[in-house]
Structure 1
Amino acid sequence: MATKRRKLVVVSNRGAYRREGGKRWVRSAGGLVTALHPVLQKRGGVWVSSRPARDFGSVTIPAPKLAYELAHVSLKGSERSGFYEGVSNAVLWPLLHGFEPTIQVGDASWSSYVSANQEFADTALAASGSSDLIWIQDYHLMLVPGLVRTKRAKARIGWFCHIPWPPPDTFGILPWREELLEGLLGADVLGFHLPEYANHFRQCVERFTVHPVTPDGIEYRGRTVRTVAEPVGIPVQESQALATDPEIGEQAAQIRQLMGNRQIILGVDRLDYTKGIPERLAAFEGLLRKDRGARTRYALVQVMVPSRTDVKAYADLKREIDRMVGDINGRYAETGRVPVHYLYRNLSRRALFAHYRAADVALVTPLRDGMNLVAHEYAAARADENGVLVLSEFAGASKHLKGAVLVNPYDVESTTGAMHRALTMKPNERQKRMRALRSEVMRLDVHRWADSYIAALEDT
């Protein structure tokens, strides 16, 4: 007799969809949504997420046909601010990315983080049964595994980190380091994109807790907590359909025509200081400055998804990027042609894939990134085996996507050189590199990632 499949309950701060005002549906942006929505569509289950007060990166859509249920946590006022803007994004986000000088521990409300995590835990428990799988996502909810465990000792609990995990010398800055580690050890399986991140976590446990770390895992209160490295991917089948859709192909041709058939360099990023957008703009300006003819041959299309602009650091970054785009266009534009086309909004997936298919070069140059699925999507979109990916060596994706041209994004002059190399690359090398990229992207399908992780969780 076949064993009944356990229900999957995903818990994250941001969900894929929410309904606002009757028939209005909103889809959120971001890599986590890209990864988890197709998994739940295929498997079914429940997605527990918060209702944001403001979501700058969302897109209004027709009512989706969801194969899973939605459950929401409603955080109010100062609690949400202390949890989200405070601990999560003023402290944990920069610290886990290695941006120690930007953290603001003194302004963070630890009590709000604790109470918000308790609300997520309570909602997850209410949405799940004793035999269900509870899969918690990311740095916002590092206490939830332990909080769920205290109420349901036999629960199957997983947690996945979608961003980097730093070494102990960096993580140790946190005043709540022990509490966060203890919270995470409530899980059965802790997932990371790369072995490097998983090893850093184990080193943190060794240094800051008394729990033994063995080759099999971390011994914690009579259980063995496993750490696994599973790089996330994209939904390959869906992406392949978009890559060969004739209507999207026509949209791509229109984009190229609008650009005056110049070679197109494409950047797609959420507004964030980890993404290296000012450094990228400086590198592109270097290309224009060194080669006067470049302004008639090349165009940079920068899509920037709004994010956290009520946080001062992000508002300041937005102003800096606006200024740089204006300066570059003011200095190098010619009548009827501007070098930088700046789209400050979220694009639908169809529009995004039209841009991928139109672009000769994709610039994915974060200063630090856990994975970066834009790199995967660009390769998946290029069924024509054309296009070049310029990829930061500090993105997790660089460990797998060997067909990319790797750059150090802090080295602006080197990035300028990489752009020029990509734009002038011979067709046979472009094809060889893109074939290698596409092969790896197809292997790293999001369903492979989810199936592998869930199998590890069910095996505990």
Structure 2
Amino acid sequence: MARLVIVSNRVPPPRATGGVSAGGLAVALQSFVEPGTLWFGWSGRVTEKPSGKPGFADGQGVTYATIDLSSEDYDRFYVGFANSSLWPLLHFRLGLMRYRREDFEGYLVVNGNFADALMPMLRDDDMIWVHDYHLIPLALALRERGFNGRIGFFLHIPFVPASVLEALPPARDLLRALCAYDVVGFQTHTHLEDFLDCARRFTGFAVEGQEVVTNGRRVRAIADPIGIDAAGFARVAARSAGTAYIQRVRDSLIGRALAISAERLDYSKGLPNRFEGFARLLSRFPQHHRHISMLQIAARSREDVAEYQVLRRELDRLAGDINGRFSQFDWVPLRYMTQTVARTKLAGLFRAARIGLVTPLRDGMNLVAKEFVAAQDPADPGVLILSQFAGAAEELSDALLVNPYDPDAIAEAMHVALEMSIDERRERHAVLRRAVFDVTAARYCNVFVDALRGA
């Protein structure tokens, strides 16, 4: 059987006890990765003069191979084009997109360096699965170096319509690079259709059904929503609910309902709008004063990107304003923290919460929404409030869907959730739970790899 080679921007370091550390991609793939797999990517280290030769580690028969980046490569590839051009563009934030030709050139250079380091490790019959926007040109770089085997690509974040994509100067180059893959996967059917439309408009290639026909290659596009290990997360949540940590949280609430949000501190997540929505709840529905506490966990990320620094200052100001306006001597309505919380503790917090607030302005999928559903006690479940612009909304339509740009809509949904009868909560949760337990991480992996095997 062909060996699976996974390529991602960051490679999860193997733990001494086996397996990999928790992270979105690592958690999704860990049950699928088996002995013999090669996982390749950036080490996360920035060094003065990278050698370009991979370092190796082994975990339960899986080989983890990594290379370092130079500071110039890091600035141009990672901070520059990937996170200052592609990330805002693909999240529909054209006003935040910054493009420089030298950054795009650095992006191509690093993808070429990845290909140079990976090629000596490849076998002719390997199947390569490349992940996310950092590595769009990698298949083209590997083809130029002589690899003719199967290569698939999965985009974990949204794709955009042609009218948005064309704002990026090298959009056509990136679309042609995507067409060097055999299979290209997206989180939702909307993202898939937008890709096919862009390929039709900008590449000159023909589109037949869900395939792009290039010079000598048929590129199959699929919608393959990512999932979680729902049963495993539910077990973790049930165990965590009985820990001293969660008991301390319950004691601190003094019987109040808990609304929880947890994500990276990122402008795509709609955090200022969410804070304003909570403030609108307290101003428009004063009957909830002293009966609800909101916990916002927003782990710091990409602190060397200016827009993230601005966002953090704005959230600090909004949190202070909300608590200054509404706090009483024995009630602080908004609890805001920017440190990382362990996944096991998050599972217990989700189970203890009456409301899960997942309101990104745009998201490829959003696994927090699925984790919140999986964590709930079916006998007394909480209510999920979900952005209509998260990919998860395509599957989780029985959540309370909101437009995240409308703080009043968020406030009204929170009010509905707090007033909702237990019968309606159970009914909604049962439908959501079926969806989360059907579309799992294992299913996501199997669908994609089966498509790649058939390429």
Q: Give the TM-score band, short-chain normalised.
A: over 0.9
Q: Would the aligned equivalents of 1:124 and 1:134 in 2 still touch at CA under 8 Å?
A: no
Q: Give the deviation of 1:248 after TM superposition.
A: 4.7
- Structure 1 residues 345 and 197: CA distance shift in structure 2, 3 A: same
Per-residue CA deviation, residues 96-146 of structure 1 (Å, 9 max, x unaligned), is 111111111137611210111112223333343211111001111010011
Equivalent position to 1:103, from 91, 97, 100 = 97
Q: Give the whole-Å Cα distance in 1 for the aligned partners of 2:30 and 2:439.
A: 16
Partner of 2:26: 33
Partner of 2:43: 51
Would you say 1:7 and 2:25 are equivalent positions?
A: no
| Letter in structure 2 aligned against 1:330 | G
Partner of 1:410: 405
Q: Give the whole-Å Cα distance in 2 for the aligned partners of 1:121 and 1:234.
A: 30
> Is the partner of 1:191 in helix, strand or coil?
strand
> Is the partner of 2:158 in helix, strand or coil?
coil
> Is the partner of 2:290 in helix, strand or coil?
helix
Per-residue CA deviation, residues 192-222 of structure 1 (Å, 9 max, x unaligned), is 0111111111111111112111125111221
Partner of 2:70: 76
> Is the partner of 1:309 in helix, strand or coil?
coil
Q: Give the whole-Å Cα distance in 1 for the aligned partners of 2:392 and 2:60.
A: 29
Partner of 1:209: 203
Q: Give the whole-Å Cα distance in 2 for the aligned partners of 1:142 and 1:48.
A: 15
Q: In terms of mean alpha carbon deviation, does 290-299 or 89-98 score higher?
A: 290-299
Would you say 1:322 and 2:316 are equivalent positions?
A: yes
Q: Give the whole-Å Cα distance in 2 for the aligned partners of 1:103 and 1:90.
A: 6
Partner of 1:196: 190
Q: Would the aligned equivalents of 1:216 and 1:224 in 2 still touch at CA under 8 Å?
A: no
Partner of 1:286: 280
Runs of at least 5 residues in structure 1 that lack an aligned partner in the other structure: 55-62
> Is the partner of 2:32 in helix, strand or coil?
helix
Tell me the TM-score normalised to structure 2 length: 0.92
Q: Would the aligned equivalents of 1:71 and 1:127 in 2 still touch at CA under 8 Å?
A: no
Would you say 1:457 and 2:434 are equivalent positions?
A: no
Q: Would the aligned equivalents of 2:238 and 2:351 in 1 still touch at CA under 8 Å?
A: no
> Is the partner of 1:401 in helix, strand or coil?
coil
| Letter in structure 2 aligned against 1:296 | R
Q: Give the whole-Å Cα distance in 2 for the aligned partners of 1:221 and 1:326.
A: 58
Per-residue CA deviation, residues 372-421 of structure 1 (Å, 9 max, x unaligned), is 00000001111435110000000010010122000011111111000010
Partner of 1:170: 164
Would you say 1:356 and 2:369 are equivalent positions?
A: no
Q: Would the aligned equivalents of 1:11 and 1:120 in 2 still touch at CA under 8 Å?
A: no
Per-residue CA deviation, residues 61-82 of structure 1 (Å, 9 max, x unaligned), is xx99655221112111011110
Equivalent position to 2:392, from 397, 401, 412 = 397
- Residue correspondence of structure 1 range 46-445 to structure 2 within 5 A: 46-53=38-45, 66=60, 68-106=62-100, 109-215=103-209, 217-245=211-239, 248=242, 251-385=245-379, 386-445=381-440
Give the count of matched residue pairs: 443
Per-residue CA deviation, residues 407-444 of structure 1 (Å, 9 max, x unaligned), is 01111111100001011110000011111111000001
| Letter in structure 2 aligned against 1:9 | V
| Letter in structure 1 aligned against 2:8 | S
| Letter in structure 2 aligned against 1:346 | T
| Letter in structure 2 aligned against 1:437 | L
Q: Give the whole-Å Cα distance in 1 for the aligned partners of 2:250 and 2:122.
A: 49
Runs of at least 5 residues in structure 2 that lack an aligned partner in the other structure: 47-56
Q: Give the deviation of 1:293 after TM superposition.
A: 4.2
Partner of 2:54: none
Q: Give the deviation of 1:186 after TM superposition.
A: 1.2
- Structure 1 residues 115 and 64: CA distance shift in structure 2, 3 A: closer
Q: Give the deviation of 1:307 after TM superposition.
A: 0.7
Q: Would the aligned equivalents of 1:91 and 1:108 in 2 still touch at CA under 8 Å?
A: no
- Structure 1 residues 106 and 112: CA distance shift in structure 2, 3 A: closer
Q: Would the aligned equivalents of 1:402 and 1:436 in 2 still touch at CA under 8 Å?
A: no
Task: Give identity over the alignment, percent.
Answer: 36
